[in-house]
Amino acid sequence: MAKVALLIGVSEYEPGLNPLPSAVRDVEAVYDVLLHPEMGGFAASDITLLNNPERQVVEIAIETLFSGRHKDDLLLLYFSGHGIKDDRGRLYLATRNTSKTQQGELIRSTSVSANFIHDRMSESRSRRQVVILDSCFSGAFAEGMSAKDDGMIDIREQLGGEGRAVLTSSTSTQYSFEQEGQDLSIYTRFLIEGIKSGEADRDQDEFISIDELHEYASQKVRELQPAMKPEIYAIREGFKIRLAKVAPGDPRQRYRKEVARFIHRGEISLVGRRTLDYQRTRLGLETTEAKAIEDEVLEPYRNEFREKLQQYQQVFTELLERDERITDSDRHDLQNLQQILGLRNEDTMPIEALVTARFKTHQQNLQIYQQAFTTALRQEYPLSAASRDRLRQTQQQLELADRDIAAIESQITAEVEAYHQKLQDYQRLFFTATQQEYPLSEATRNNLRQQQQRLGLTDVDVAPIEAQITTQIESYYQKLQQYEQAFVKATQRQHYPDDVTRKQLQETWQTLGLSEGDVSAIERRINAEIETHQANLRQYEQEFTEAIGQEYPLSAFKRSQLTQHHQALNLTAENVTAIENPIVAAIKEHRQKLQQYEEVFRESIQFEYPLSDATREELRRFQQVLELNDAETAAIEAIIIQSSSEAESRKQQERIRQEEAEKQRQQQEIVRLKQQEAEKQRQPEEAEYHQKLQQQYIQQPSPTKFTKSAQEQTTQPTQERITRQKFLKWAGLGGVGLVTAVVGREVFKYIPVKLETFKFETVTVDEKGQVIKRDPTKQAKFFKEDLGNGITLEMVKILAGSFKMGSPPGETGRSQSEEPQHAVNVPAFFIGKFQVTQEQYQQIMGSNPSSFKGAKRPVEKVSWNDAVEFCKKLSQKTGREYRLPSEAEWEYACRAGTNTPFHFGETITTELANYDGTSTYASAPKGKYRQKTTEVGSFPPNAFGLCDMHGNVWEWCQDTWHNSYKGAPTDGSAWIEDNDNENQLLRGGSWNYSPGYCRSAFRYGSTHDDHDVNIGFRVVCAAGRIL
């Protein structure tokens, strides 16, 4: 009889399978036991040891093990490594070169099939076959353990057979583990231990059979790892196969064996204690010697038990630290862990009580430290060295580790830093807001409240910030106001400070601690007011000089205009007096000199005329004394000489007329006497003539072509009274085609027009003159009037509508003449797209009076009479009625549906209109002062498509001047009744006037014959006359 063993251990694998370091050590330990003569009794030549073999080597060794054997031979196959199942649940033993696909499927040709082993065992003649598989059938299972593999393998079916015994480290559906930190796997470790210690010899027959070895190892494995359930599969008497002997030993070894039998849960039971005491006496061992053996045997069990307790304590502690309480789910998991570790309730309850008590104490200490740290941070941030030392002492008293307080300090510090960051953010927001405006508006305050809520800050949090900044700002603003008052006091907002005053002001703001930028802002603002004031003074001085040069003394109307001007320019009565008095005084003085010269000259020509050289020389010296120029004296002399000549001439003509009248009277008396004499002689002859004429008339049936019938004589006066306008109305102007009629001796023609559409873009600005809207979709209808020589006049159709005429209360620059604001209904009409140009005026009138020459520039220096004459000639040329617009039509067309000061919006800029850009309106910036007209259409149109309604040149209207709108018509017609004077209306402002004069509602006026360089016009054509 032979005893042959094949020991296979595979620790190294291809990628996809975890390495198993203990597998090779397992086979080496089994080899030592089998080779021991007093235990295994195997010959070295009959033991084959394969470490990390490949599949072919394994199969050859297995086939060699089972072939050529005798019936009584004992054959042992031991395998430690991975067991793998395929998709049909068949078992394979993994070798060094066993591989899996990328999908995790086994490549069968690289592993040893259980069927192969079964076939080789069935073919063998040996009836004592033992297979020990220390393997499982899945991957890693738990921390600290390495799983070998997992599966659903039927061991009896695949490795069963007559005379066979199969030991497995777990069931066909369980895991088999190697314990971390141990040299051998759990199952093999207790197999070796059972043989070496002899403790597996349950029946004390000095032999260890398969079933005894299995019982011992199974018990030990389940005590250490309850999840593992080693199994034995035996056929017939296979479980009685004797695998090893109990090595004879000294009493110490036998006592060790007895100790191992009575160990339970790492301790010796009460009954076992009595039994071991008896065995110690029987074996003749000393108490100390027996105690040493017991400690040595118990130590591994005690260590394992303590490790289990520590593991349970660690898990329980981690659960408490995570949630601070044990949930039902946690309790269920703990019970599972308790069963897996083989612990009883009495083992775990003291652990839980101890950990819970320690945890509560620890938590309380953490809370105490957290409160102390929070309080310290609220008192000062960041912490000083002294505060940090006090906190370290608190930490030591509370027995807290650095890692414990690190989390607390990190969290609280982060919260405090975040809180302080939020405070800083709000401080920055509040400071920025106060820099932009102070005091804060309600809108800004609401926005800050929203930011405060977004930052999660309370009113208590932000109150100190706001109070500090507000106090600083108010203090600084008070200083700014002090400086502004000093600057205003020094300049009166009317004149710039001199060098001495400037030095004093500099000392003032430096003493107040003001920044140069803030001081410059104050001075720029006040200097701008001074500059505006100076410009207004110059403008008013120019206007007054021009006005008084045109008429002196000034009329009430002109004085009213000047009053409106100086009010619009924000000039005081003192300012005006200071300007006017020197000018008036100079004019009075000059007029007195002229009057003196006139008196001397009149006296001179009364004594002699023409004047002698001596008299002329005396007059010249008198002229030099009076500081008069030659033109002035020449004009005086011409007027006096002409008036004297005209008076003498009138006297002479009167004498001649009287003489001629007397002669004529005498001649008429002679003629009358002659006629009386002739009448007496003609009466008989005339009676005879009438008789003959009557007879002739009776003979002829119709009158001659030179004779008019009674009816014709009756209707003739009526025809002569038919005007051209009435004829056009009777002719029916709504038809299409050429209408021609003869009325009296005049021929009138009417030619319908063809309306076209043009598109344009409008612009809207805010009070700062910034564009806030552009609308490129606007369009309007118009027709072109051909004036000849390629020159046309574009007339835009204005639809009928209603609007508020005049300015509303509160509009900057508003005067009493613009009130009351009232509703006006305006019929449809056509109006010039542009102001009448110089080429258009030249084409109709044959002349161009303008100062700023240019074909496309507006005509200027035209009086109201000139404009009316232009309309008359244009009407005659075109057959359509052209006229000046009524004041209501003009303002309706200018506003184009708006109610703001300008059709552009709240203000205008020199990018939108031509006016004196050195002055401003609302908050618009200063702009260009072009000092001349610009070509029409150079700027954006209004919503009706009309250009230059603001600025460029004043535009004449039909209406006469009225001081207000009281009693004004509301049907859009011109107001020419009950006028206050003979002045005509002007609208729109000009290139030489400030923007306030260019407002839609501003009214101006001048005399019929004013040929000013600022005045032009545009024309209107009644819609009913052309459609």
**Residue spans per domain, the chain:** 3-246, 249-343, 572-665, 724-753, 756-1025
Residues 80-99 pLDDT 10s: 998 888 778 788 899 999 99
β-sheet bridge partners, residue 803: 824
Q: Which CATH number fits domain 756-1025: 3.40.50.300, 1.10.10.410, 3.30.930.10, 3.90.1580.10?
A: 3.90.1580.10
β-sheet bridge partners, residue 740: 749
- Are 815 and 839 within 8 A, CB to CB? no
- State the pLDDT at residue 696: 47
1020-1022 and 829-832 strand pairing: antiparallel
CB contact set of 689 (below 8 Å; sequence gap of 6+): none
Give the separation between CA 931 and CA 993, rounded to whole angstroms.
10
Q: Tell whether the torsion through CA atoms of 930, 933, 936 and 942 is positive or negative.
A: positive
Where is pLDDT greater, at 39 or 737? 39
Give the separation between CA 735 and CA 942, rounded to whole angstroms.
33
Residue 536: its H or E element: helix 516-550
- State the pLDDT at residue 750: 46
- Are 952 and 913 within 8 A, CB to CB? yes
pLDDT band of 151, cuts 50, 70, 90 = very low
Where is pLDDT greater, at 719 or 199? 199
* 110: number of Cβ within 10 Å: 17
Residues 309-368 pLDDT 10s: 888 888 888 888 787 788 888 888 888 888 888 888 888 899 888 888 888 888 888 889
- State the pLDDT at residue 974: 95
* 178: number of Cβ within 10 Å: 27
Long-range contacts of 648-655 (CB under 8 A, 24+ apart): none
CB contact set of 203 (below 8 Å; sequence gap of 6+): 212
- Are 934 and 913 within 8 A, CB to CB? no
The distance from CA 735 to its chain's CA centroid, rounded to whole angstroms, is 59
β-sheet bridge partners, residue 50: 8
Cβ burial of 312 (10 Å; 0-12, 13-18, 19+) is buried
Q: What is the CA radius of gyration of the chain?
A: 65
Give the separation between CA 990 and CA 987, rounded to whole angstroms.
9
Structure tokens at 368: 């105490």
Judge if 3-246 and 756-1025 fold alike in CATH terms: no
- List the alpha helices (DSSP H) in 325-344: 328-341
**∠ Cα 721 725 726 (to 5°):** 60
Torsion of CA 413, 418, 421, 423, to 10 degrees: -100
Where is pLDDT greater, at 662 or 683? 662
Residue 652: its H or E element: helix 630-699
- Are 184 and 252 within 8 A, CB to CB? no
Sheet holding 771-788, edge to edge: 756-765, 771-788, 791-798, 829-832, 1020-1022, 882-883
Q: Is the pLDDT of residue 592 over 80?
A: yes
Backbone angles phi, psi at 9, to 5 degrees: -130, 125
Residue position matching structure tokens 């059709």: 903
Where is pLDDT greater, at 555 or 962? 962
Q: How large is the angle between the packed helices 287-323 and 345-379, nearest 10 degrees?
A: 50
* 733: number of Cβ within 10 Å: 15
- State the pLDDT at residue 646: 66
Read off the pLDDT of each residue in 453-467 and give the average, rounded to a whole number. Answer: 89
**∠ Cα 788 790 796 (to 5°):** 85
Backbone angles phi, psi at 999, to 5 degrees: -60, 155
- Are 781 and 799 within 8 A, CB to CB? no
Torsion of CA 579, 582, 584, 585, to 10 degrees: 160
- State the pLDDT at residue 174: 45
Give the separation between CA 8 and CA 22, rounded to whole angstroms.
12
Lowest mean pLDDT among 22-36, 572-586, 686-700, 792-806: 686-700
Residues 821-843 pLDDT 10s: 999 999 999 999 999 999 999 99
Read off the pLDDT of each residue in 877-906 and give the average, rounded to a whole number. Answer: 96
Read off the pLDDT of each residue in 382-389 and give the average, rounded to a whole number. Answer: 88
Give the separation between CA 488 and CA 144, rounded to whole angstroms.
89
Residues 751-763 pLDDT 10s: 567 899 999 999 9
Read off the pLDDT of each residue in 799-803 and give the average, rounded to a whole number. Answer: 94
pLDDT band of 709, cuts 50, 70, 90 = very low
Strands (E), 343-467: none
Read off the pLDDT of each residue in 566-582 and give the average, rounded to a whole number. Answer: 88
Give the separation between CA 919 and CA 749, rounded to whole angstroms.
50
Q: Across the chain, what does the average pLDDT equal?
A: 83
- State the pLDDT at residue 355: 85
3 state DSSP class of 505: helix
Amino acid code (one letter) for 563: T
Give the separation between CA 945 and CA 943, rounded to whole angstroms.
5
Q: Is the pLDDT of residue 731 over 50?
A: no
1015-1016 and 954-960 strand pairing: parallel
Residue position matching structure tokens 């109201």: 864
Read off the pLDDT of each residue in 607-613 and give the average, rounded to a whole number. Answer: 81
- State the pLDDT at residue 178: 55
pTM greater than 0.75 (yes/no): no
Q: Is the pLDDT of residue 525 over 80?
A: yes
Residues 102-141 pLDDT 10s: 888 889 999 999 889 989 998 999 888 999 998 764 222 2
Lowest mean pLDDT among 247-251, 385-389, 902-906: 247-251
Instruction: Please tell us whether the domain made up of 3-246 is placed in CATH 3.40.50.1460.
Output: yes
Read off the pLDDT of each residue in 146-160 and give the average, rounded to a whole number. Answer: 40
Amino acid code (one letter) for 637: E
Where is pLDDT greater, at 979 or 144? 979
Read off the pLDDT of each residue in 484-496 and give the average, rounded to a whole number. Answer: 88
- State the pLDDT at residue 744: 33
Structure tokens at 85: 């199942």
Long-range contacts of 601-606 (CB under 8 A, 24+ apart): 601/633, 601/636, 601/637, 601/640, 602/640, 605/640, 605/641, 605/644
Q: Tell whether the torsion through CA atoms of 606, 609, 615 and 616 is positive or negative.
A: positive
Give the separation between CA 999 and CA 568, rounded to whole angstroms.
12
Amino acid code (one letter) for 835: Q
Read off the pLDDT of each residue in 268-277 and give the average, rounded to a whole number. Answer: 84
pLDDT band of 739, cuts 50, 70, 90 = very low
pLDDT band of 383, cuts 50, 70, 90 = confident
Where is pLDDT greater, at 401 or 735? 401
- DSSP summary character for residue 913: S
Q: Is the pLDDT of residue 707 over 50?
A: no
Residues 946-1004 pLDDT 10s: 999 999 999 999 999 999 999 999 999 999 875 556 799 999 999 999 999 999 999 99
- State the pLDDT at residue 1016: 98
- To the nearest whole percent, how much of the chain has pLDDT over 90? 36
CB contact set of 722 (below 8 Å; sequence gap of 6+): 743, 744
- Are 89 and 153 within 8 A, CB to CB? yes
- Are 309 and 354 within 8 A, CB to CB? no
Where is pLDDT greater, at 169 or 963? 963
- DSSP summary character for residue 240: G
Q: Is the pLDDT of residue 746 over 50?
A: no
Q: Is the pLDDT of residue 24 over 60?
A: yes
3 state DSSP class of 523: helix
pLDDT band of 818, cuts 50, 70, 90 = very high
3-state secondary structure 124-136: CCCCEEEEEEECC
Find which of 549-558, 589-598, 710-719, 943-952 is predicted with most confidence, using mean pLDDT.
943-952
Give the separation between CA 715 and CA 939, rounded to whole angstroms.
57
- Are 240 and 210 within 8 A, CB to CB? yes
pLDDT band of 8, cuts 50, 70, 90 = very high
- DSSP summary character for residue 612: P
Amino acid code (one letter) for 921: Y
Torsion of CA 331, 336, 340, 341, to 10 degrees: 10
Give the separation between CA 604 and CA 862, rounded to whole angstroms.
41
Q: Is the pLDDT of residue 497 over 80?
A: yes
Please name which of 836, 813, 820, 864 lies closest in space to residue 993, comparing C-alpha atoms. 813
Residue 578: its H or E element: helix 573-607
Residues 931-941 pLDDT 10s: 999 999 999 99
Cβ burial of 364 (10 Å; 0-12, 13-18, 19+) is exposed
Structure tokens at 588: 């009075």
Where is pLDDT greater, at 622 or 1025? 622
The distance from CA 1014 to its chain's CA centroid, rounded to whole angstroms, is 47
Annotate 437-455 with DSSP letters as a single string.
-SSPPHHHHHHHHHHHHHH
- List the alpha helices (DSSP H) in 879-964: 887-895
3-9 and 74-80 strand pairing: parallel
Read off the pLDDT of each residue in 522-543 and give the average, rounded to a whole number. Answer: 89
- Are 357 and 315 within 8 A, CB to CB? no
- State the pLDDT at residue 249: 62
Q: Is the pLDDT of residue 778 over 90?
A: yes
- Are 340 and 227 within 8 A, CB to CB? yes
pLDDT band of 649, cuts 50, 70, 90 = low
- Are 505 and 520 within 8 A, CB to CB? no
Residues 853-865 pLDDT 10s: 999 999 999 999 9
